[in-house]
Amino acid sequence: MTLNEFVMKSLKECSSTIQETMILRNLLDYVVGIKCKYVQDEAAFLFVIHTLQELIIRQYNFSLRQANDFLSRYIEWLLAVRSDDKQTSLLSIIGFRFVCHIMELYLSQQIISTDHSPRTTVNAPVINSRIHAFRELSLNKNYSPYQGVLSLAEVFFTNVSTYNFLHANDLLKNISIALYQERFFRCE
């Protein structure tokens, strides 16, 4: 929780988009490079991920190219986490991998192209549907204890006229609360 408090304090003190972008860059570098032995609370780390996603979403107010670069790097990290079978790091925590799998699919579904911002308006077309891959999660034996969470998340994938890129943190918050009865998200 200390990291998230530090990031939030830094954001309150920043006075420019350049400073906010530096905070985002540093946080993304930290998240991408973290080793499992340094993560003591999986749920608290998800709260840091929530802050990271929020900063990435806000980047679209500043610079499309830079925001797309941050989003792309973040999605690559989510994909690496959910795909790791070595079980040598944070990636081996099945609940965390499950969350990363859902978020990677959802964010990938929101991408229109590399030179456009993701879907951010009601009824924006879905060019990159991940609903089939999402539904296949229910067939994964590792994720069988999380069927209730899948049903909570499904509406974000199927109701595309309502949910878009701007709802990524709502999805993360909902699945984190469902998986961990997460106290950090309850006191936002």
Percent residues over pLDDT 90 in the chain: 55
Q: DSSP for 117-133, please give it.
A: PPP-STT---SS--HHH
Q: Is the pLDDT of residue 123 over 70?
A: yes
Please identify which residue in the block is written with the tokens 């609903």: 131
Joined tokens for residue 64: 């499309």
Q: Global pTM?
A: 0.90
Question: pLDDT tens digits, residue range 12-71?
Answer: 998 899 999 999 999 999 999 987 667 778 888 888 999 999 999 999 999 999 999 999
pLDDT confidence band for 129 (50 / 70 / 90): confident
Q: How far lies 145's CA from each of 7, 93, 128, 130, 137, in Å?
A: 33, 14, 28, 21, 11
